[in-house]
């Protein structure tokens, strides 16, 4: 018993050792870093290496593990930022040796605190602006309980980070730097008191776009981060590898690396082309030369924003598509999110100098060359110039700003939100930053996004207009934003504050006054976003008013990406518009065929589900009722059986009944359309790959919802002997030509029955049940984690075959008409060639 106090002392000592705060000297596998302990309860480690310096042969290469360093390394001041386009290589505090990371953590944190980690992706441009990786986060931390960790880092910009060539260069090195830094965080943040399993990514402007790139790079649903915050992210059209290679050649030529010594290579296998020599030349250049060339390239297109020159590339490795398309395709991590934008975001980026374009049409055609004149006219109508009486180029400034904001900021963010919410993400928060500087006078709209970003860090550490400083009209604004953001960092919910034990700090008077408006989740049935207003006052506003404008941009970009052509009505509406065009064109073609060649095309509904006009489909070629239809059925006769278009009153009634029942049950069903072509000219198409049957099959199967195509008794004909499956030529007095009569195509008659001789078969086209039914359906979750309930929305159409009849007729007429014109062209060419000989 007398030794018990000694054991207690030892136990207390052991326990005390486990709760000691993280020392200022942190040991990593490759180096020891000595941080700086501040008087405000924060310790910061600045300028730690997370990768080897990307200089010399490592320029334009992916980041590598940092080299081991002996002794204790000072980590008390920020190290050099990465070089930015438009600035000299000798710019103070900038160099190629720039891959450094910064950690700011509560001084009292221990290795077992497991505090939330906020990784802020700095940089407000891929090339031409200073990064904000050297942010002072102490104001944010102290005013909000100092119970989380903030990490920032540098990554390469401009050609150093985003030059991509076809000579073995690695693509997207700037993004790879970010991946390397995030990997560093997950490996080592516990040594600073952080939780590697609770990381939130955040950023503003291009930094926010980087956040979304990381979100959409994820191919699994166990990413390193648990949530994201994206402030005013732009959604630029990312270049393809081909476009990036063209830019690489242009850059190399401008640098003198495509001279006689380094011949220009158009193709990588070109004789005499030395891609390695080109890369060696680029590696040998000075940073000054590269800075000048990179800046000159951004100036080569005066109308387009310079930051579009050095963008991440769709390399099908890290980035498989544009950010917007990745959201559309469901290729993103399922994590809670905050996303929004500032009012007038596009104002700062609509012009290079505010005087470079005359109007919105000129600017948009330069920015999006694929837009047609009709697209541009519609844009001009949607965004009228309220200053039209002005006759100087700057008068279109506001109009262009609105277009730019909606097309690159507001609408893509809404599309992203809609698609993320479809995946049942628990935590979807949308916002609008509408804070101006009315207390000091009108705010320059160019600065509104910068103010939005600065408010996260607070007016104490960031230079902001006077109205945001203590005792002024907007002094509560930064605390409102900080409170929402830090709540989300802790709990992935901006409304809920998660208190960590022993991490409580006093707030300023303005901070104590804050009462947060409940921020509702955004979803299809509750399209509310929080609007940040003057004086720290927030309100909720529905996003329904954005529907028409954003629908236009969504449809335009969707159809352009999918088919390479524009259709401002989008894939759904464009399909309908295309169908109307097909039917109209088919009507013209059918009239010409009937008048010039006596061709007659008739289609009708032959089945819906198991209800069939002819029970034995295999024996249609010998079915007297079918042969009678072949000879006598006309379109007028088919139209007598509207709305079903099945030429049998009894069968039509049964079909109509089942369609009505399925409509009431919110279900759908398939069906078949049969069409007959009479007096078709012979020898249409080409004898090898493009016979008329092949052309018709291709055309009919291009109709949306078609699932099957059968040339009458083609399958049954495969069971026939050749003596039966034969094609005799018979006399046709009507056309003074011999035409074929084929058993194999489903029309069998003796020579005496030649009232409707034909060289064209009859066809049956099967249409699938419409996909959208208004029923909740149990289905597998996207992440394979189990099952969920899918609740489809949209128009419910139980069956499409009655209205498919005219579409099938139109496509058949168009195909035959095109084949005829091609045949005439070939024959005319042969005649001209013969005359020439």
617-644: average pLDDT? 77
Residue 502 has pLDDT above 80, yes or no: no
pLDDT digits (tens, 9 = 90+) for 196-216: 999 999 999 889 999 999 999
Tell me which of 431 and 620 has the higher pLDDT. Answer: 431
Q: How far apart are CA 112 and CA 110, in angstroms?
A: 5
Residue 270 has pLDDT above 50, yes or no: no
Write the CB contacts of 399 (distance below 8 Å, at least 6 apart in sequence). Answer: 359, 360, 383, 384, 385, 386, 387
Q: What pLDDT was estimated at residue 389? A: 66
Tell me which of 829 and 441 has the higher pLDDT. Answer: 829
Q: Are 484 and 478 in contact (CB under 8 A)?
A: no
Tell me which of 632 and 227 has the higher pLDDT. Answer: 227
Q: What is the pLDDT confidence band of residue 708, given thresholds at 50, 70 and 90?
A: confident
pLDDT digits (tens, 9 = 90+) for 451-472: 888 888 876 656 677 788 878 8
Coil, strand or helix: which one is 428? strand
Q: How far apart are CA 68 and CA 276, in angstroms?
A: 30
CATH code matching the domain that covers 576-835, chosen among 2.40.50.140, 3.40.630.30, 3.30.465.10, 3.60.150.10: 3.60.150.10
Distance of CA 513 to the CA centre of its chain: 41
255-275: average pLDDT? 52
**What is the b/e burial string over 799-818, where b = at least 16 CB atoms within 10 angstroms of the residue's CB?**
bbbbebbbbbbbbbbbbbbe
Write the CB contacts of 827 (distance below 8 Å, at least 6 apart in sequence). Answer: none
11-33: average pLDDT? 72
pLDDT digits (tens, 9 = 90+) for 60-116: 999 999 999 999 999 999 999 898 877 777 778 889 999 999 999 999 999 889 999
Q: What pLDDT was estimated at residue 828? A: 81
pLDDT digits (tens, 9 = 90+) for 353-367: 444 445 567 777 766
Domain boundary assignment for the chain: 576-835
797-812: average pLDDT? 87
Q: What is the pLDDT confidence band of residue 185, given thresholds at 50, 70 and 90?
A: very high
pLDDT digits (tens, 9 = 90+) for 287-332: 888 887 766 665 444 444 444 678 899 988 899 888 888 888 888 9
Lowest mean pLDDT among 34-43, 279-288, 536-545, 707-716: 707-716
250-276: average pLDDT? 58
Q: What pLDDT was estimated at residue 244? A: 87
Q: What is the pLDDT confidence band of residue 227, given thresholds at 50, 70 and 90?
A: very high
239-267: average pLDDT? 72
Q: How many CB atoms lie within 10 A of CB 93?
A: 11
Residue 567 has pLDDT above 80, yes or no: no
pLDDT digits (tens, 9 = 90+) for 509-547: 555 566 788 898 987 667 888 999 888 888 888 777 777
Q: What pLDDT was estimated at residue 45? A: 97
- Which residue's structure tokens are 């209205």? 803
Q: What pLDDT was estimated at residue 589? A: 93
Q: How far apart are CA 425 and CA 336, in angstroms?
A: 6
Maximum alpha-carbon separation in the chain? 129
Q: How far apart are CA 172 and CA 139, in angstroms?
A: 33
pLDDT digits (tens, 9 = 90+) for 758-775: 445 678 888 888 766 666
Percent residues over pLDDT 90 in the chain: 23
Whole-model pTM over 0.95:
no
Length of the chain counted residue by residue: 837
Q: What pLDDT was estimated at residue 414? A: 87
Q: What pLDDT was estimated at residue 69? A: 94
Q: Is cis: bond before 377, omega within 30 of 0?
A: no
Residue 194 has pLDDT above 90, yes or no: yes
Give which of 190, 207, 51 is closest to 111, Cα–Cα.
190
Judged on CB neighbours under 10 Å (0-12, 13-18, 19+), 833 is exposed
Residue 582 has pLDDT above 80, yes or no: yes
Q: H helices of 570-648, where? A: 570-597, 624-632, 635-639
Q: What pLDDT was estimated at residue 356? A: 41
Q: What pLDDT was estimated at residue 246? A: 84
Q: How far apart are CA 415 and CA 48, in angstroms?
A: 38
Lowest mean pLDDT among 253-257, 318-322, 625-629, 633-637: 625-629
pLDDT digits (tens, 9 = 90+) for 380-438: 777 777 766 666 656 667 777 788 888 888 888 888 888 888 788 888 999 999 887 66
353: left (phi over 0), alpha (psi -120 to 50) or beta: alpha
Write the CB contacts of 600 (distance below 8 Å, at least 6 apart in sequence). Answer: 594, 634, 677, 678, 679
Q: How far apart are CA 603 and CA 584, in angstroms?
A: 16
Q: What is the pLDDT confidence band of residue 552, given thresholds at 50, 70 and 90?
A: confident
Phi, psi of 608 (to 5 degrees): -140, 115
615-628: average pLDDT? 66
Q: What pLDDT was estimated at residue 13? A: 40
* Summary mean pLDDT of the chain: 77
pLDDT digits (tens, 9 = 90+) for 152-180: 999 998 889 998 886 667 899 999 999 99
Ranked by mean pLDDT, the top range of 26-30, 220-224, 791-795 is 26-30
Tell me which of 161 and 473 has the higher pLDDT. Answer: 161
Ranked by mean pLDDT, the top range of 39-53, 372-386, 576-590, 762-776 is 39-53
């Amino acid at each position: 018993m007398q030794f018990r106090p000694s054991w207690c002392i030892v136990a207390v000592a052991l326990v005390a050792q486990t709760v000691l705060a993280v020392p200022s000297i942190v040991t990593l596998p490759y180096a020891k870093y000595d941080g700086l302990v501040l008087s405000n309860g924060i310790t910061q480690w600045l300028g730690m290496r997370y990768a080897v310096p990307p200089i010399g042969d490592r320029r334009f290469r992916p980041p590598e593990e940092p080299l081991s360093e002996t002794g204790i390394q000072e980590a008390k001041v920020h190290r050099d930022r990465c070089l930015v386009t438009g600035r000299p290589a000798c710019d103070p505090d900038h160099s190629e040796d720039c891959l450094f990371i910064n950690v700011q953590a509560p001084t009292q944190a221990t290795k077992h605190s497991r505090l939330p980690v906020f990784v802020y992706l700095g940089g407000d441009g891929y090339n031409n602006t200073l990064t904000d990786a050297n942010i002072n986060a102490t104001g944010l931390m102290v005013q909000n309980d100092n119970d989380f960790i903030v990490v920032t880092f540098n990554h390469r910009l401009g050609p150093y980070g985003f030059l991509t060539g076809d000579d073995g260069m690695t693509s997207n090195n700037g993004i790879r730097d970010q991946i390397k830094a995030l990997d560093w965080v997950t490996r080592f943040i516990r040594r600073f008191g952080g939780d590697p399993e609770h990381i939130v990514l955040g950023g503003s402007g291009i930094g926010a776009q980087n956040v979304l790139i990381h979100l959409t790079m994820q191919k699994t649903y166990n990413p390193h981060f648990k949530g994201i915050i994206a402030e005013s992210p732009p959604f630029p059209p990312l270049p393809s590898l081909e476009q990036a290679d063209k830019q690489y050649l242009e850059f190399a030529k401008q640098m003198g690396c495509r001279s006689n010594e380094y011949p220009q290579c158009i193709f990588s296998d070109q004789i005499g082309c030395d891609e390695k020599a080109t890369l060696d030349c680029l590696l040998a250049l000075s940073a000054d030369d590269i800075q000048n060339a990179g800046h000159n390239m951004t100036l080569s297109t005066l109308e387009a924003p310079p930051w579009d020159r050095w963008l991440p590339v769709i390399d099908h490795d890290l980035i498989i598509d544009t950010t917007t398309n990745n959201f559309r395709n469901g290729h993103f991590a399922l994590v809670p999110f905050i996303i929004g934008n500032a009012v007038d975001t596009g104002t700062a980026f609509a012009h290079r100098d505010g005087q470079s374009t005359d109007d919105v049409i000129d600017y948009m055609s330069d920015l999006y060359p694929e837009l047609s004149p009709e697209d541009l006219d519609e844009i001009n109508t949607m965004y009228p110039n309220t200053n039209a009486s002005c006759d100087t180029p700057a008068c279109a400034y506001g109009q262009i700003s609105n277009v730019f904001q909606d097309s690159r900021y507001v609408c893509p963010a809404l599309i992203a939100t809609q698609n993320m919410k479809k995946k049942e993400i628990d935590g979807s928060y949308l916002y609008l930053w509408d804070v101006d500087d009315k207390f000091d006078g009108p705010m320059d709209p160019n600065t509104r996004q910068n103010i939005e970003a600065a408010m996260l860090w607070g007016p104490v550490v960031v230079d902001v207009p006077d109205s945001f400083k203590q005792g002024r009209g907007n002094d509560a604004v930064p605390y409102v934003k900080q409170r929402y953001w830090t709540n989300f960092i802790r709990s992935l919910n901006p409304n809920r504050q998660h208190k960590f034990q022993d991490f409580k700090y006093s707030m300023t008077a303005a901070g104590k006054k804050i009462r947060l408006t409940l921020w509702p989740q955004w979803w299809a049935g509750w399209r509310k976003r929080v609007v940040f207003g003057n004086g720290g006052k927030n309100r909720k506003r529905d996003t329904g008013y954005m529907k028409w404008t954003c629908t236009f941009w969504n449809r335009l970009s969707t159809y352009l990406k999918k088919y390479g052509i524009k259709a401002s009505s989008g894939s759904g509406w464009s399909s309908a518009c295309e169908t109307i065009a097909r039917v109209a064109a088919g009507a013209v073609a059918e009239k010409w065929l009937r008048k010039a060649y006596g061709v007659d095309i008739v289609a009708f509904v032959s089945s819906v589900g198991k209800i069939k006009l002819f029970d034995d489909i295999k024996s249609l070629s010998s079915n007297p009722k079918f042969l009678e239809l072949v000879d006598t059925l006309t379109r007028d006769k088919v139209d007598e059986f509207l709305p079903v278009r099945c030429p049998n009153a009894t069968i039509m009634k049964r079909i109509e009944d089942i369609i009505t029942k399925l409509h009431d049950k919110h279900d759908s069903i398939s069906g078949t359309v049969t069409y007959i072509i009479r007096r078709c000219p012979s020898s249409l198409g080409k004898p090898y790959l493009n016979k008329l049957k092949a052309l018709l099959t291709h055309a009919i199967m291009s109709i949306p919802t078609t699932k099957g195509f059968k040339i009458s008794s083609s399958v049954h004909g495969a069971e026939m002997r050749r003596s039966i499956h034969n094609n005799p030529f018979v006399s046709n007095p009507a056309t003074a030509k011999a035409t074929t009569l084929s058993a194999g195509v489903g029309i069998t008659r003796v020579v005496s029955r030649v009232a409707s001789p034909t060289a064209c078969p009859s066809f049956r086209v099967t249409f699938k049940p419409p996909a959208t039914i208004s029923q909740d359906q149990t289905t597998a979750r996207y992440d394979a984690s189990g099952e969920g309930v899918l609740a489809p929305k949209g128009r419910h159409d139980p069956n499409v075959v009655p209205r498919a009849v005219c579409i099938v007729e139109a496509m058949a007429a168009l195909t035959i008409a095109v084949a005829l014109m091609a045949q005439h062209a070939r024959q005319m060419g042969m005649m001209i060639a013969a005359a020439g000989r």
